[in-house]
Amino acid sequence: MVEPTKAEMDALDALLADVAGAPDPVPSDDLMARILADAEASRPVPAAPPEAPRLGWRNWLATLGGWPVLGGMAMAGVAGLWLGVAPPAAVDQMVAEMLGETVSVDLLGLTDPFELEG
């Protein structure tokens, strides 16, 4: 890095002293009026207040999001029920690979609902 010379430092000091002694510039009244008029013109117009949420048993469909949302929820419910009742063989195989074994639990205690065994 190059060090400044004494003459350069003196010139810089003189320049800064001149700037420090100068009065602050004051904008004219015409300029201030134009700035304020421009600011007033660019001010956003307030929007209407948002609609109150529609609650209650009559508007439950609209509260959820309408028919498309209800259709998606019904489809997800049916798919979940289907996969829970009759999972594909690939799911059993994947669980066996991840956990090392599969476990089957009979919640009703009926392995053969028609008791056709034995």
Q: What is the pLDDT of residues 77-115, one digit of tens each?
A: 999 998 888 878 787 788 778 877 766 666 666 666 666
* CA distance readout (Å), 96 to 18, 63, 83, 90: 85, 42, 17, 10
The predicted model gives 10-30 an average pLDDT of: 89
Cβ(54)–Cβ(62) under 8 Å?
A: yes
Q: What is the pLDDT of residues 34-87, one digit of tens each?
A: 999 999 999 988 888 887 766 666 677 877 888 899 899 999 999 999 888 887
pLDDT band at 23 (very low <50, low <70, confident <90, very high): confident
Residue that the structure tokens 């700035």 belong to:
35
* Alpha-helix residue ranges (DSSP H) falling in the chain: 6-21, 29-41, 60-64, 67-85, 89-99
pLDDT of residue 67: 87
Beta carbons within 8 Å of 53's beta carbon, 6+ residues apart: 63
The predicted model gives 10-35 an average pLDDT of: 90
Give the CA-trace dihedral at 97, 103, 104, 107, to 10 degrees: -140
Residue 118 has pLDDT above 60, yes or no: no
Cβ(93)–Cβ(101) under 8 Å?
A: no
Closest CA to 105 of 84, 91, 79: 84
pLDDT of residue 110: 60
